[in-house]
Amino acid sequence: MTPAPDQPNATGSALAPAPGDPLPSLVVPVVDEARMKVLTLLLHDPNPIHFDPGSVVPVGDDRRLVTQGPLSLGYLATMLAAWAGAEDRIATLDCRYLTNVHAGDAVVAGGEVTSLGTDTTGRRVAHCAVWLEVRGGARAVQGTATVLLDAPA
């Protein structure tokens, strides 16, 4: 992912977005089943829909594993951190789940700047709409984020 003009580079230069600007998308070509199973272990998540295809309630003939919510949020956080130049610039991320993401799905994390402002310490912030779409355009996750435009002190 290459930063657009006025977007951060590896040195974390200041952002200069405007309301309506799109955030650079993060494309995940395949949600990897093996990585989902590892995340299940790391999270101590006992829900079998993340590791046992036989436990997934089928939709048609689809018995693919369902991703964990934190994995979907992680895609959004990764997209925001890449745009902002660092993970510590994500001040808030508030989302709701709309549909499941399954092993093997392709997903795209995206968003847009909705407004600009300042936080309680006077630092510039961008308020953003964010979403995670499954191939075909169905929104799986939707929410808002606040990103620091100036490097944290």
For the chain, the structural domain boundaries read: 26-148
How high is the pLDDT of residue 9? 37
Helix residue ranges per DSSP H, the chain: 33-43, 69-84
How high is the pLDDT of residue 61? 61
User: What pTM was estimated for this model as a whole?
Assistant: 0.84
Q: What percent of the chain has pLDDT over 70?
A: 87
- Residue 76 confidence class, pLDDT cut points 50, 70, 90: very high
Contact 64, 57 (CB under 8 A): no
CB atoms within 10 A of CB 121: 9
3-state SS class at 114: strand
Domain 26-148: CATH superfamily is Hotdog Thioesterase (3.10.129.10)
- Mean pLDDT value across residues 96-114: 95
Query: What are φ and ψ of residue 100, in 5° steps?
Result: -75, 150
How high is the pLDDT of residue 58? 64
Residue 64 in this model has a pLDDT that exceeds 60: yes
Q: What angle do CA 102, 48, 51 make, to 5 degrees?
A: 55
Residue 11 in this model has a pLDDT that exceeds 50: no
